């Protein structure tokens, strides 16, 4: 039986029997894998240090981000701080191999979206042996002998398509899940889960295995709440801790409806731009920044343990922390609901 993800008065949550404590704000180190543009090594280091010293927990990374570069950078701060003062989360599902010569990526490999990562070729592998190899590689890059949270990464239709998803789901449950269970029982990993972009797939995994935590990106935000229908109630029932990524829906809730605003990694369509424009107007009428409302809204759901937020500078880390402290009038949430921009039943901050 999975034990409660107990929310504490301090604003933190303990993820089940794992004893892993996360704060209301975590740090997503994906951008520090040089997503789309290169980030200076010292800036990356200072950003991670700022997040760690501010108590952002967990610090979430993956072999996928910069083909291991993000993990390597997280490992650098592990050597600068006390290991047990940090909660480190990483992922499995891809194995790194040395990139030799003019190797041409296969269709099995992820799309190249990193400006400059490590010289590794990534391939999907959710088998037991592949998962163990991935964990070994991550431990070496991070420079640690244990992980606080380990997630099965990207087993969803978005990544593998309708034809490939079922095969990958079966492979993950028969391979990666068994590996994670063993590592948890041996104490190498404290909490296990999945990290994906689709709420309905979280439901599939929640019914299929004994998971402590799930990281869901983009599916519970001020803009849209599909996870509220089935997944979040199920997480409460099964006492699975929920980490949320992508709460700005790839950018538009942070930037507002500006030219070129992005939604789900693509230019925002007119319908989304219109809805966000209306949301922004209501926020401004109450003297609140849309960014602040978008950050605080998802934390109000009782199933949500932490928001995993990205940043590429110490200043952005500080901005995230300040935004979660801003007092937002209750009337703002009521006006959003009255305008049918927010579900009437959606929990909102007190």
pLDDT for the residue 36: 78
Maximum alpha-carbon separation in the chain: 60
Which H or E run contains 159?
helix 157-171
Relative orientation angle of helices 199-208 and 231-238, to the nearest 10 degrees: 30
CA distance 295 to 322: 11
- The percent of residues above 70 in pLDDT, for the chain, comes to 93
Question: What six digits make up the tokens of 284?
Answer: 């401004």
Relative orientation angle of helices 330-338 and 270-285, to the nearest 10 degrees: 140
Q: Provide the pairing of β-strand 262-263 with 266-267.
A: antiparallel
Name the CA radius of gyration of the chain, rounded: 19
The sign of the dihedral angle between the CA atoms of 114, 292, 202, 228 is negative
Average pLDDT over residues 339-350: 95
CA distance 16 to 282: 38
Per this entry, what is the length of the chain?
A: 350
Active centre residues (catalytic): 65
Q: What is the DSSP string of 162-199?
A: HHHHHHHHHHIIIIIHHHHHHHHHHTSEEEEEEEES-H
User: Which of the 8 DSSP states describes residue 156?
Assistant: S
Average pLDDT over residues 147-165: 96
CA distance 123 to 109: 5
- 192 forms beta bridges with 150
pLDDT for the residue 110: 42
pLDDT tens, residue by residue, 163-211: 999 999 999 999 999 999 999 999 999 999 999 999 999 999 999 999 9
Question: In this structure, what are the phi and psi dihedrals at residue 50, rounded to the nearest 5 degrees?
Answer: -60, -45
CA distance 240 to 7: 12
CA distance 30 to 245: 11
Average per-residue pLDDT in the chain? 92
pLDDT tens, residue by residue, 4-36: 444 443 457 888 778 899 999 999 999 999 987
- Residue 54 class from Cβ within 10 Å (0-12 exposed, 13-18 middle, 19+ buried)? middle
Higher confidence at residue 265 or residue 23? 23
CA distance 194 to 189: 14
pLDDT tens, residue by residue, 64-95: 999 999 999 999 999 999 999 999 999 999 99
Question: What six digits make up the tokens of 215?
Answer: 């990281």
275 pLDDT more than 70 = yes
pLDDT for the residue 109: 43
Rounded to 5°, the CA angle 170-148-151 comes to 20
User: Which of the 8 DSSP states describes residue 104?
Assistant: P
pLDDT for the residue 19: 87
Are 93 and 126 in contact by the 8 Å Cβ rule? The answer is yes
pLDDT for the residue 111: 43
pLDDT for the residue 11: 56
pLDDT tens, residue by residue, 219-243: 999 999 999 999 999 999 999 999 9
User: Which of the 8 DSSP states describes residue 281?
Assistant: H
pLDDT for the residue 292: 98
CA distance 235 to 289: 30
CA distance 290 to 293: 5
């Amino acid at each position: 039986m999975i034990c409660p993800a107990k929310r504490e008065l301090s604003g933190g949550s303990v993820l089940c029997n794992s004893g892993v404590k996360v704060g209301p704000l975590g740090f997503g180190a994906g951008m520090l894998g040089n997503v789309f543009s290169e980030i200076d090594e010292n800036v990356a280091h200072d950003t991670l240090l700022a997040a760690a010293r501010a108590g952002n927990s967990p610090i979430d990374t993956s072999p996928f981000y910069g083909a291991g570069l993000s993990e390597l950078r997280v490992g650098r701060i592990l050597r600068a701080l006390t290991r047990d003062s940090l909660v480190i989360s990483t992922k499995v599902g891809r194995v790194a191999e040395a990139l030799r010569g003019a190797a041409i990526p296969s269709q099995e490999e992820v799309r190249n979206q990193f400006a400059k990562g490590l010289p590794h070729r990534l391939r999907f592998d959710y088998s037991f042996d592949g998962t163990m190899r991935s964990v070994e590689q991550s431990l070496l890059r991070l420079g640690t002998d244990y992980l606080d949270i380990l997630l099965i990464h990207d087993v969803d239709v978005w990544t593998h398509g309708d034809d490939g998803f079922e095969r990958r789901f079966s492979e993950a449950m028969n391979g990666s899940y068994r590996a994670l269970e063993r590592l948890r029982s041996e104490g190498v990993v404290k909490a296990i889960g999945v990290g994906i972009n689709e709420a309905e797939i979280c439901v599939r995994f929640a019914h299929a295995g004994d998971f402590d935590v799930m990281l869901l990106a983009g599916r519970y935000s001020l803009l849209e709440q599909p996870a509220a229908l089935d997944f979040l109630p199920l997480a409460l029932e099964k006492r699975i801790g929920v980490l949320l990524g992508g709460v700005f829906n790839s950018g538009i809730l942070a930037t507002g409806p500006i030219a070129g605003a992005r939604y789900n990694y693509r230019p925002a369509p007119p319908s989304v731009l219109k809805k966000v424009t209306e949301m922004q107007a209501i926020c401004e009428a109450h003297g609140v920044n849309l960014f602040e409302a978008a950050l605080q809204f998802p934390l109000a759901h009782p199933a949500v343990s932490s928001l995993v937020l990205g940043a590429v500078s110490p200043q952005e880390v500080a901005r995230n922390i300040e935004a979660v402290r801003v007092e937002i009038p209750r009337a703002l949430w009521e006006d959003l609901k009255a305008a049918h921009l927010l579900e009437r039943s959606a929990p909102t901050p007190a």
